[in-house]
Structure 1
Amino acid sequence: MQNIRRTLPALPHLNVFDAAARHMSFTLAGQELGVTQAAVSYSIRMLERDLGVSLFTRNGRNIVLTEVGERFARDISLGLAHLRQSVLSIRKTGAARMVTLSVSSAFATFWLMPRLNAFRERFPEIDLQVRSTDRDVDLALEDMSLGVRYGSGILPSYSRADLADEIIYPVCSPAYAAKLPRAPEKCGARDVARAALIHLDEPFRVCPIWADWLHAQGHVPKADLPMLRLNDYVLVIQAALEGQGIAMGWQHLVEPLVQRGALVRVTPHVWATGVVYSVVWAGPLSKDAGKVRDWLLEAQHGAPLPTGRL
């Protein structure tokens, strides 16, 4: 049996030849492949030397396929197309066994991580890939199984199951709460407005801000409130944990921290915005993806919150 390594030229050279034959340009082939024109020229020379024939004729900066080159280009194009299709098919087979979940960094940190051990104990057979992003990426375009979205992030084409109402209340560390002029159960919106506020400068979507929460409580500040501004909710909550001031607490995210005593509610007043967070999906779900969706809903609505460390 002949050694296949001696029979076939190097695959990278074949890939370069395919690009050069399609573009009829070493420069454009290099741009497609992300290499220099000189690198393309070198690969073509190595391929021609390996085959013992000329694949192109050169006329200054112009190139033309020889008769042998034309035949070889057709065969290579067909062969590479079959190879790409085979690779894609295998990757899809592997991906079919994986469930991808798109969530924000805050949801991943404060909601998912405390519950993940319980999920893995219950579904050890599911290969779950969590993709943390604060952008509302298109699930279909990114080939993701499920996502957690709200507001404008829920596209009309998505199927959805409601996960949690958006309920917001101020939170701070116990140490900072001890510095407040009144006990948390007696604090009102005016007390909150006079405190050191930590603000989320959300970079990718419209979300409630401190002025919205205060207005919902019937308090209109006379001037812009000085505050610490952070563009990541994980940082906002970390700042609150470190005693930097009062943060807006999204209930479905901060409740475990409140139950553990790491954070305290600054006031009994809450704001239900009317917005809903939902589990969404863009197409038919695999059996495992359906299990993940159902678990997300059950963990939010039915199962008790964990008390261990994050």
Structure 2
Amino acid sequence: MSLPYPLRQLPSLDPLKGFVAAARHLSFTRAAEELCLSQSAVSRQVQTLEAQLGVALFQRSTRALHLTPEGERLFRCASDALDRLGAAVADLAASRRRPKVTVSASIGVAALWLVPRLSAFQARYPEVGVRVSADNRNVDLEAEDVDVALRYTTPGAAPAGSRRLFGERLAPVASPAVAVALPDGPRLSAANLPHLTLLAFEDGRDHPWLRWDGWQGELGGAPSAARGLLQFNHYDQCLYAAQAGQGVALGRLPLIADALADGRLQALLPPRPTPGERGFYLLRGRHSQRPEVDAFADWLVGQGSGAEAGMTE
């Protein structure tokens, strides 16, 4: 593999620009007009480049300007390189001007609920870019340049100024293939427990209602009586394993509504609420008072109302 050509040995950009402009127009006068320079300035740039390279790039006459073979070779390469550089600069400038909203959510919520809905926001607001920052910690909105964040908490502990998106209910869920094969019917029971692998979400936080230990009554026995146990530290992995037929998971209904509706997952028991009426809230940064953030926040609240309504149907 050849090494990159040393940057210090490359010609400066201004002489290259002058040469490419002159080669495109075959005229120092028109090249000067394009670059907003004088004709003599462009001529000096080309002379500087020729001196550095040690070759003539143009055949000059009183009436015409022609590229030498060396000039034609350099023009093909330099023109393409400057075109690509110009396109990159234009893209960067456009992205800097494009309104953007940064939203923070836990990895599971981002994967299961937020990301699948973003195409609807983009269809409605194509001029607004969205950056998803998925993280299981509660980020500092001001320090980390985050506009809005989704937080999971109780009404009493919800941050001041936050807006409720939707509540939460839980139910054991499995793929239809797993459910139909259970000997005691498609439900969670003591008879079915030895035939099931429990899929557990364990991220080191104190959420006992999201662990199987708190469901012994519904299980009809201790979790240890199950055929097996698989643990995941990200909730979306736990649910993807359930969809793949690897066992039964505790489904957070607002996050898996689409999977239940299209038959990827099936509830094995009636749902029950989480303690303390926990739910998801939208929190905005103090310095995120921009029209695009207003639009995104209102859209998210509307999406949350739809999720809330879906749990009551």
Code of the aligned partner of 1:230: F
* Structure 2 residue runs without a partner (length 5+): 1-11, 13-92
Code of the aligned partner of 2:285: A
Report how many residues are paired: 210
Query: Which residue does 2:257 correspond to in 1?
Result: 255
Asked if structure 2 preserves the Cα contact closer than 8 Å seen for 1:159 and 1:282, the reply is: no
Query: Which residue does 2:199 correspond to in 1?
Result: 198
The question of 1:281 aligning with 2:259 is answered: no
Code of the aligned partner of 1:243: G
Code of the aligned partner of 1:138: D
* Whole-angstrom distance in 1 between the partners of 2:161 and 2:144: 16
* Whole-angstrom distance in 2 between the partners of 1:218 and 1:244: 18
Asked if structure 2 preserves the Cα contact closer than 8 Å seen for 1:162 and 1:279, the reply is: yes
Identity %: 28
Quick one: structure 1 residues 178 and 157, their matched pair in 2 at CA, closer, same or farther if it must change by over 3 Å?
A: closer
Query: Which residue does 1:136 correspond to in 2?
Result: 138
Asked if structure 1 preserves the Cα contact closer than 8 Å seen for 2:102 and 2:131, the reply is: yes
Alignment root-mean-square deviation, CA: 3.2
Query: Which residue does 1:110 correspond to in 2?
Result: 112
- Specify the SS of the correspondent of 1:228: strand
Asked if structure 2 preserves the Cα contact closer than 8 Å seen for 1:106 and 1:234, the reply is: yes
Give the alignment partner of residue 169 of structure 2, picking from 154, 159, 167.
167
Deviation at 1:249, TM superposition (A): 0.6
Quick one: structure 1 residues 140 and 189, their matched pair in 2 at CA, closer, same or farther if it must change by over 3 Å?
A: farther
Asked if structure 2 preserves the Cα contact closer than 8 Å seen for 1:145 and 1:289, the reply is: yes
Quick one: structure 1 residues 183 and 146, their matched pair in 2 at CA, closer, same or farther if it must change by over 3 Å?
A: same
Deviation at 1:188, TM superposition (A): 4.5
Asked if structure 2 preserves the Cα contact closer than 8 Å seen for 1:174 and 1:262, the reply is: yes
* Whole-angstrom distance in 1 between the partners of 2:131 and 2:211: 32
* Structure 1 residue runs without a partner (length 5+): 6-90, 306-310
Query: Which residue does 2:294 correspond to in 1?
Result: 290
Give the alignment partner of residue 124 of structure 1, picking from 116, 123, 126.
126
Asked if structure 2 preserves the Cα contact closer than 8 Å seen for 1:96 and 1:286, the reply is: no
* Whole-angstrom distance in 2 between the partners of 1:193 and 1:151: 31
* Whole-angstrom distance in 1 between the partners of 2:252 and 2:192: 16
Query: Which residue does 1:177 correspond to in 2?
Result: 179
- TM-score of the superposed pair, with normalisation by structure 1: 0.59
What is the CA deviation profile of residues 120-143 of structure 1, one whole-angstrom value per residue up to 9, with x for unaligned ones? 010112121111112221112212
* Whole-angstrom distance in 2 between the partners of 1:224 and 1:182: 16
Query: Which residue does 1:244 correspond to in 2?
Result: 246
Code of the aligned partner of 2:255: L
- Specify the SS of the correspondent of 1:159: coil
Quick one: structure 1 residues 108 and 261, their matched pair in 2 at CA, closer, same or farther if it must change by over 3 Å?
A: same
Quick one: structure 1 residues 294 and 219, their matched pair in 2 at CA, closer, same or farther if it must change by over 3 Å?
A: farther
Code of the aligned partner of 2:149: G
* Whole-angstrom distance in 2 between the partners of 1:183 and 1:130: 41
Asked if structure 2 preserves the Cα contact closer than 8 Å seen for 1:213 and 1:271, the reply is: no
Deviation at 1:246, TM superposition (A): 0.1
Query: Which residue does 1:145 correspond to in 2?
Result: 147
Query: Which residue does 1:271 correspond to in 2?
Result: 273
* Whole-angstrom distance in 2 between the partners of 1:128 and 1:241: 28
What is the CA deviation profile of residues 225-284 of structure 1, one whole-angstrom value per residue up to 9, with x for unaligned ones? 651111111211121111110011111111100101011111224333321211112315
Code of the aligned partner of 1:114: P
- Specify the SS of the correspondent of 2:183: coil
